[in-house]
């Protein structure tokens, strides 16, 4: 790809930034006023024409002005956009919006999505900690009756799950002790995805007391482990997309797509790098070909644990949105990690 001249770069950046603000095609006279270039309108028109022939700009049929192409947005994000820090107001809004849920990872992720959707005016998609990296950290059994106990499971990435379990046999000291022996020897430190009823049957059969008395507890633990191994996907702010004229009649189709769990999970899990920006047809689904998808991973205890991302029109304010996504994602990871360490 041929390197653009400094003047072409300045013109492309000005077209992108002005089109993001106004949503209207940008003409040569407007560009001159925006950039303050000491050249004629004819020179600017020629440069814009060359940028169009190179695929960075497009000309709507009804206008003499130009708009960025998806290739133009890509070049702008990769090469021309200023690398801003998040401004103090947005930082305070994010911190205030999620601080109350700092001790509950799933609630924290949900609130983070709502805050980001409000801040960016886009749809926000996020995944709670889970997946193959989820390790069982602690299990507690709390007797609440002669035949009933509450099981509480904590994972390495901060997910806390609980459920009530009823036993056919009376819950006595021996069953509780042997349950904790099984937990310590066969469950703690193991991946949540590896804990299943089939894998635990032989362990339960090896206990000194009646193995059938232990099975309801083991089954309950397996159920809790299975629920933590799955990354829960959350969607917020999807109605924001109706406010963009860029989508037109396609907004409903996009909304229907966003409400389907499987493709949305694939979009989020397909992010290979810690921070990803996919523009238009770079996305694998046709329904996203007029959208940009920004996805960031958050880490808990140094391990990738989930993702937070936004979906909006290609004409989004990348320069201000990207710092907000990065800051919020880093903050979420830090808060969950801190909660685990306390």
Task: Work out the average pLDDT over 75-88.
Answer: 93
Would the pLDDT of 95 be above 70? Answer: yes
Would the pLDDT of 217 be above 80? Answer: yes
> What pLDDT score does 35 carry?
85
> What pLDDT score does 131 carry?
66
Through-space distance between the first and last CA atoms of the chain, rounded to whole angstroms: 52
> What pLDDT score does 203 carry?
73
Split at pLDDT 50, 70, 90, the class of 199 is confident
Split at pLDDT 50, 70, 90, the class of 132 is low
Task: Work out the average pLDDT over 174-197.
Answer: 87
Over its C-alpha atoms, the chain yields an Rg (Å, rounded) of 26
Task: Work out the average pLDDT over 67-74.
Answer: 96
Split at pLDDT 50, 70, 90, the class of 342 is low
Please give the residue that has the higher pLDDT: either 261 or 79: 79
CATH number corresponding to 6-80: 1.10.10.10
What share of the chain has pLDDT > 70, as a percent? 95
* Region(s) of the chain under CATH 3.30.450.40: 88-129+231-341
Split at pLDDT 50, 70, 90, the class of 61 is confident
pLDDT tens digits along 233-251: 899 999 999 988 888 888 8
Would the pLDDT of 1 be above 60? Answer: no
Would the pLDDT of 96 be above 90? Answer: yes
Most confidently modeled range among 25-34, 174-183, 312-321: 312-321
3-state secondary structure of 245: coil
Burial class (CB in 10 A: 0-12, 13-18, 19+), 245: exposed
pLDDT tens digits along 148-164: 999 999 888 778 889 99
* Region(s) of the chain under CATH 1.10.10.10: 6-80
> What pLDDT score does 105 carry?
83
Split at pLDDT 50, 70, 90, the class of 92 is very high
Residues 88-129+231-341, CATH architecture: 2-Layer Sandwich (3.30)
* Inter-residue contact 296 to 309 (CB < 8 Å): yes
* Region(s) of the chain under CATH 3.30.390.10: 136-229
Cα 317 to Cα 298: distance, rounded to the nearest angstrom = 22
> What pLDDT score does 299 carry?
87
Mean pLDDT estimate for the chain: 88
pLDDT tens digits along 247-293: 888 889 999 999 888 888 888 887 778 899 999 999 999 999 999 99
> What pLDDT score does 230 carry?
73
Long-range contact pairs involving 15-22 (C-beta distance under 8 Å, separation at least 24): 15/48, 15/51, 15/57, 15/66, 15/67, 15/68, 15/72, 16/68, 16/72, 16/73, 16/76, 16/80, 17/319, 19/67, 19/68, 19/315, 20/315, 20/316, 20/317, 20/318
Task: Work out the average pLDDT over 192-205.
Answer: 77
Cα 31 to Cα 38: distance, rounded to the nearest angstrom = 12
* Inter-residue contact 51 to 63 (CB < 8 Å): no
Lowest mean pLDDT among 99-108, 163-172, 199-208: 199-208
Would the pLDDT of 60 be above 80? Answer: yes
Split at pLDDT 50, 70, 90, the class of 209 is low
Cα 105 to Cα 228: distance, rounded to the nearest angstrom = 12
- So what CATH class is 136-229? alpha beta
């Amino acid at each position: 790809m041929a390197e653009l001249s400094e003047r072409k770069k300045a013109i492309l950046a000005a077209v992108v930034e002005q089109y993001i603000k106004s949503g209207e095609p940008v003409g040569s006279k407007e560009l001159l006023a925006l950039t303050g270039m000491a050249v004629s309108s004819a020179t600017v028109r020629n440069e814009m024409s060359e940028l169009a022939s190179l695929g960075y700009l497009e000309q709507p049929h009804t206008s003499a002005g130009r708009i960025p192409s998806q290739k133009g947005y890509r070049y702008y994000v990769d090469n021309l956009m200023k690398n801003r820090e998040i401004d103090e107001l947005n930082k305070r809004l994010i911190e205030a919006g999620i601080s109350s849920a700092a001790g509950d990872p799933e609630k924290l992720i949900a609130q983070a999505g709502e805050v980001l959707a409000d801040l960016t005016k886009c749809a926000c998609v996020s995944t709670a900690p889970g997946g193959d990296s989820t390790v069982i950290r602690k299990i507690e059994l709390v007797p609440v009756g002669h035949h009933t106990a509450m099981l509480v499971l904590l994972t390495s990435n901060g997910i806390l799950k609980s459920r009530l379990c009823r036993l056919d046999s009376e819950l006595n000291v021996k069953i509780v002790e042997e349950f904790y022996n099984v937990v310590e020897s066969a469950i703690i430190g193991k991946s949540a995805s590896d804990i299943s009823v089939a894998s635990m049957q032989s362990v339960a059969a090896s206990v000194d007391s009646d193995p059938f008395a232990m099975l309801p507890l083991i089954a309950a633990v397996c159920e809790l482990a299975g629920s933590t191994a799955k990354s829960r996907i959350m969607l917020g702010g999807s109605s924001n997309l109706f406010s963009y004229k860029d989508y037109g009649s396609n907004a409903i189709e996009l909304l229907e797509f966003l409400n389907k769990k499987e493709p949305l999970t694939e979009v989020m899990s397909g992010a290979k790098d810690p921070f990803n920006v996919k523009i238009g047809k770079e996305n694998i689904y046709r329904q996203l070909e007029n959208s940009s998808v920004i996805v960031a991973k958050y880490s808990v205890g140094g391990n990738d644990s989930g993702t937070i991302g936004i979906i909006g029109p290609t004409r989004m304010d990348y320069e201000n949105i990207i710092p907000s996504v990065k800051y919020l994602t880093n903050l979420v990871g830090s808060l969950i990690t801190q909660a685990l360490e306390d």
